[in-house]
Amino acid sequence: MTARQEPFSAAVTGLGLVTAAGVGAKATWHSVTQETVPDGVHHQEELADLPCDFMYTVTDLDTTALLGVATQRLMDRFSQLAVIAAREAVADAGLDPESWDGSRVAVVIGSAHGGLPFYDQQHVAMARRGARRVSPKLAPLTVVNSAASSVCMDLGAQGPSMGVATACSSGTVAVGTAHQLLRAGVCDIAVAGGAESVLSRLLIASACQMKAVSTRRDDPSAACRPFDAARDGFVVGEGAGLLVMERPEHASARRAPVRAHIRGYGASSDAYAAVAPDPDGNGIERALRSALADAQVEGRDVGHVNAHGTSTVVNDRVEATVLRRVLGEHPLVTSTKAMTGHALGAAGGIETALTVLALEQQLVPPTANLEVPDPRIPIDIVRSAARPAAFDCAVKTSLGFGGHNAALVLTR
């Protein structure tokens, strides 16, 4: 009889965050746990005549000073955010790109829309001034994989590199893919997560037509309210969240402090609709059960869930129902999107990093703006204030347009 193989636990040794809640992991965590209203939620002039004219943006970030004029011009903003987050994560891990074996370093970064704002700008340029005014850099700056390639060039990473595009689950799928690469032994280190920046009039107009975004123009900072009875849609945000993950023996050999472990990953497709999730939650349930099986843990072992929790009516209800069905009523659940905005393809990377911090600090951030919990949502949602708790296992769930579901299991 074949012995059961031990689960593979990738060591998380570094975190990098650039969000509307703060620049840097420390600043973001402080805002999220203190429920400090981020400065980055405000009206956008480009969206003035739309039902949703506001979004979360990263403030207090001088990309020119950090990257230099020449380097900055070679990247769209989502790639700039990715490079800045990657630098923080690598420094946090105590790694020196000047001395590592770059051929053993992988980069996997998710993004839903890539450089969409630059597409918008170039379309306007061509419409107003003709085709000869279109930038030759349009393709290399806007493809989804350009964030990964920019990080590779900045860090000298020469191992497997890829961009992941599974809509709003992209960042989570990127971390899961990195976990698989490390388990397969094709790299020793992986920089993984998500990056997004979509101040795009075209995209927000479409989201308004879809009725997916909040229209609380009178109070943008209170518009995103996951699991609240009065929720009316998500609020778009920008940002980047990247993790440095290592094979456990590699981290041990260099005596690196391990912040947490990525122990299990699962993914699935609803095969149901282009936008709406499977109303029975079968897809996200398969992904979650697959992640638990991969990690060899039971639902009762999970103490905390950082939920996708977008503040849309259907998504929050479906996800909460599945969490209760699979994990029971005991895990402490939060959605941090009311503090960061819904960063689309970056959301999973940002929120996985926050889950690492929750495990490390033994503290579950509150779900901001949750005033009246939806009575149809049967889970223990942390609200009003961060809640100290003792737990060794946590879950991150993500759902994306097109039915792309993903889940991660993290342990201390």
Pick from 73, 112, 88, 67: which is nearest to 22 by CA? Answer: 88
Question: In this structure, are residues 115 and 178 in contact, taking their beta carbons and an 8 Å threshold?
Answer: no
Which of 179, 250, 261, 342 is catalytic? The answer is 342
| Cα angle 400-12-259, degrees, rounded to a multiple of 5 | 115
Question: Alpha-carbon distance 289 to 277, whole Å?
Answer: 17
The average confidence (pLDDT) of the chain is 95
Pick from 251, 272, 215, 212: which is nearest to 92 by CA? Answer: 251
Question: Alpha-carbon distance 387 to 399, whole Å?
Answer: 25
Q: What is the pLDDT of residue 5?
A: 84
What are the tokens at 362? 């033994």
Mean pLDDT for 222-238 is: 96
Strand pairing class (105-110; 387-388): unpaired
Question: Alpha-carbon distance 287 to 290, whole Å?
Answer: 5
Per-residue pLDDT at 114 exceeds 60: yes
Pick from 267, 362, 309, 247: which is nearest to 10 by CA? Answer: 247
For residues 131, 133, 134, 136, the Cα torsion angle rounded to the nearest 10 degrees is 120
- Most confident range (mean pLDDT) of 45-49, 71-75, 138-142, 314-318 is 314-318
Q: What is the pLDDT of residue 40?
A: 74
Whether 168 is a known active-site residue: answer yes
Strand pairing class (105-110; 161-164): parallel
Half-sphere exposure of 216 (CA within 13 A, CB side): 18
pLDDT band per the 50, 70, 90 thresholds, residue 1:
very low
Per-residue pLDDT at 43 exceeds 50: yes
Per-residue pLDDT at 99 exceeds 90: yes
Q: By CB neighbour count within 10 A (0-12 exposed, 13-18 middle, 19+ buried), where does 3 fall?
A: exposed
Residue type at 240 in one-letter notation: A
- Most confident range (mean pLDDT) of 116-120, 201-205, 254-258 is 254-258
Q: Which residues pair with 405 in a beta bridge?
A: 268, 399
Whether 43 is a known active-site residue: answer no
Instruction: From residue 214, give the alpha-carbon distance in Å to each of 15, 50, 51, 192.
Output: 30, 11, 8, 30
Q: What is the pLDDT of residue 42?
A: 85
| Residues in CB range of 130: below 8 A, 6 or more apart | none
Which of 52, 113, 152, 168 is catalytic? The answer is 168
Whether 308 is a known active-site residue: answer yes
| Residues in CB range of 59: below 8 A, 6 or more apart | 20, 39, 40
Which of 113, 179, 250, 308 is catalytic? The answer is 308
Instruction: From residue 362, give the alpha-carbon distance in Å to each of 324, 356, 357, 394, 400.
Output: 22, 10, 8, 11, 28
Q: Which residues pair with 164 in a beta bridge?
A: 110
Residue 294, classed as helix, strand or coil, is: helix
What are the tokens at 287? 């992904």
- Around Cβ 34, how many Cβ atoms within 10 Å? 14
Phi, psi (degrees; rounded to nearest 5) at 310: -85, -15
